[in-house]
Amino acid sequence: MKPVEQSPVLQMQGITKRFPGVTALQDVTFSVRAGEVHCLMGENGAGKSTLMKIMNGIYTEYDGQMLLDGHPVRFANPKDAQRHGIGMIHQELNLVPELRVYENILLGRESMGIGGILQRRKMIRIASEELARLGVSIDPRRPIFALRIAERQLVEVAKALSLHARILVMDEPTSALANHEVERLFSVIRALKASGVAIIYISHRMDEIYSIADYITVLRDGRTVASLPAGEMSRTQLIKHMVGRDISEMFQRDIVAQEAPMLEVRDLSLTGRGVRKLDHISFTVNKGEVVGLAGLMGAGRTETLETIFGGYPPKQRSGEIWIAGKQARIQSPKDAIRYGLGLVTEDRKNRSLVLGLPIRSNATLAALRDMLLPFGVVVRRRERTAVQVKITELDIRTPGIEVPVATLSGGNQQKVVLAKFLLTRPKVLLLDEPTRGIDVGAKAQVYQIVGQLAKQGTAFVIASSEMPELLAVCDRILVLCEGRVTAQFKRGEATQEAILEAATRFTEVSEMSV
């Protein structure tokens, strides 16, 4: 589709933003037109979020100027930006889970009658109209916690539009969505575009960008390196712009699997609140083998890994786990680690890291028992050396080991999580979405690390929604659907289509329609 030729609604000119010690943005120019989907690309730390935070009035101190409809503006705070028609859908959605859909959409703008009594019916009507405009039929009376991530996102979009947003920033909106949900989001985006809303779209997924973008701007190291119509920038060029170097054969690795089972899962089942979440899952992972778990959201990938790792109470699960030929009685993550398992969770910030603590403490959290004198006194020198070695091995970019992990980029945080479990010298590593929200360069590094460790005999189970990555990295791919294994492919046999087909083999009529 040809972008509508008209003057930009929003222009950012010569934007420079400095933080103590770093220049996050250097003379960045960025503009977006009405009815345009503008993809903002760049590795983590390239300056995308900083730019968006300036646009949304979160950062108010910067050099350069912003023009809205040709008039200079400077937002005092996020509310101010909102009033000027700028809406932002954050990666971590800003909804109140306990409240209902309509209450969320109209939060702070409730319709009230005499004496401040809420006019529930009127609010529900307004909310349904907003949702109908997007062409989605979510019952506005449902509480947010009962909605799937994809639906929550649409509620956020409806909320932004009800605030008369003319410019909508979407920060990695699809990182938690399955393919068909992505499609639905895209049709909403296309409808918004047709109604003249400008959309700034941030994502790491290449496929998506080319199916939705009109225009692409690439940031690298805080500078604009390219800004072209999507049709004029090839995928290779785009990657090159982003990383500043050619990455060919990013995820290649040697096959080193041996016929020696390291992890055997037999009839693993999990029930929670009366719902069967995993249904007799069985598989084997050999020494040095990398096995992938594919499936849609809610298929049970995360549950499989966390159940193996002892994350659920023993009475909720059944089945056997054998590690290196011996049955393992895993009651808790503590047991799992003792048996030689490691788990890198999909939610790095909430489930893997203690953000306020330094790299050192995070990296040694699981392996601390190997660094103790009597009475549990930590041998600081041994600890520091161990962490230093991992920082070098994994190429963690940091000013030092005492830096809080919160200040690291996503890719480096992920490497700290890896370091934490590598220090326990695991036999089997379970990785859940190991490349979510990290940049292309770091993705390649993560899989390089996987390749090296597999060569040394570590077995891997990798759950991911990034099919191209699974196809490139795994020796074998299991496909899950509704907590069952519906297919198994050897390397080379698997295709995206075959995986998708197996991932949608529902037992009964799908309840996925909205």
Partner 1 sequence: MATDLIRSSAPNFNRKRWLNFLFRFQSLFGLVIILILAVLFSPKPNGVNLFLSQRNLLNILMFASEVGILAVGMTLVILIGGIDLSVGSVMAFIGVIAADLLMNRHDVPVLGTIITVGGWSALAILVVCTLVGALIGFVNGWSAERFKVPSFVTTLAMMSIARGLARAWSNNNSIPIALGSSGEQLSQYGSSGGFGDPVFGLLGGTIGNTGLPIPGLIMIVIALIFGFILTYTAFGRRLYAAGGNPVATRLSGIAVGRLRIYTFMICGALAAIAGLIHASRLNQGSPNESIGYELNAIAAVVIGGASLNGGKGTIAGCIAGAFILQILDNILGLNSVSANVQLVVKGLLVILAVALQQLRPSTESA
- Report the interface residues with partner 1, using CB under 8 A: 16-20, 22, 24, 45, 47, 49-50, 59, 61, 63, 309, 311, 332-334, 336-338, 343, 345, 350-357, 361-362, 365-366, 368-369, 372, 375-378, 380, 406-407, 420, 424
**Of residues 54 and 296, the one with the C-beta less far from partner 1:** 54
**Of residues 50 and 486, the one with the C-beta less far from partner 1:** 50
Residue the block writes with tokens 């993550």:
333
Q: Minimum distance between the CB of residue 182 and partner 1, rounded to whole angstroms? A: 28
Nearest Cα residue to 223 out of 75, 51, 38, 66: 51
Kind of pairing between the strands at 459-463 and 428-432: parallel
Helix (H) or strand (E) holding 56: none
Say how far apart CA 463 and CA 482 lie, in whole Å: 15
Helix (H) or strand (E) holding 475: none
Q: Minimum distance between the CB of residue 251 and partner 1, rounded to whole angstroms? A: 26
Do 479 and 501 touch, CB atoms closer than 8 A? no
**Of residues 20 and 108, the one with the C-beta less far from partner 1:** 20
Do 151 and 513 touch, CB atoms closer than 8 A? no
Q: Minimum distance between the CB of residue 338 and partner 1, rounded to whole angstroms? A: 7
**Of residues 281 and 337, the one with the C-beta less far from partner 1:** 337
Q: Minimum distance between the CB of residue 236 and partner 1, rounded to whole angstroms? A: 28
How far, in Å, are 32, 90, 241, 288, 480 from residue 36 at the CA level?
A: 7, 19, 22, 47, 37
**Of residues 153 and 364, the one with the C-beta less far from partner 1:** 364
Tokens of 435: 């490349």
Q: Minimum distance between the CB of residue 396 and partner 1, rounded to whole angstroms? A: 17
Residue the block writes with tokens 């503009």:
31
**Of residues 196 and 333, the one with the C-beta less far from partner 1:** 333
Q: Minimum distance between the CB of residue 169 and partner 1, rounded to whole angstroms? A: 17
Say how far apart CA 463 and CA 305 lie, in whole Å: 8
Nearest Cα residue to 330 out of 304, 310, 315: 310
Do 330 and 310 touch, CB atoms closer than 8 A? yes
Q: Minimum distance between the CB of residue 307 and partner 1, rounded to whole angstroms? A: 13
**Of residues 198 and 337, the one with the C-beta less far from partner 1:** 337
Say how far apart CA 367 and CA 213 lie, in whole Å: 46
In one letter, which amino acid is 76? A
**Of residues 21 and 115, the one with the C-beta less far from partner 1:** 21
Signed CA dihedral, 403, 405, 409, 415: sign only: positive
Say how far apart CA 396 and CA 415 lie, in whole Å: 6
Q: Minimum distance between the CB of residue 356 and partner 1, rounded to whole angstroms? A: 5
**Of residues 31 and 49, the one with the C-beta less far from partner 1:** 49
The DSSP secondary structure of 401-423, one letter per residue, reads TTSBGGGS-HHHHHHHHHHHHHT
Q: Minimum distance between the CB of residue 399 and partner 1, rounded to whole angstroms? A: 12
β-strand partners of 229: 215
Kind of pairing between the strands at 215-220 and 223-229: antiparallel
**Of residues 162 and 352, the one with the C-beta less far from partner 1:** 352
Do 152 and 95 touch, CB atoms closer than 8 A? yes
Q: Minimum distance between the CB of residue 361 and partner 1, rounded to whole angstroms? A: 6
Q: Minimum distance between the CB of residue 46 and partner 1, rounded to whole angstroms? A: 9
**Of residues 35 and 42, the one with the C-beta less far from partner 1:** 42
DSSP letter, residue 53: H
In one letter, which amino acid is 129? E
Report how far Cα 112 is from the mean position of its chain's Cα atoms.
38
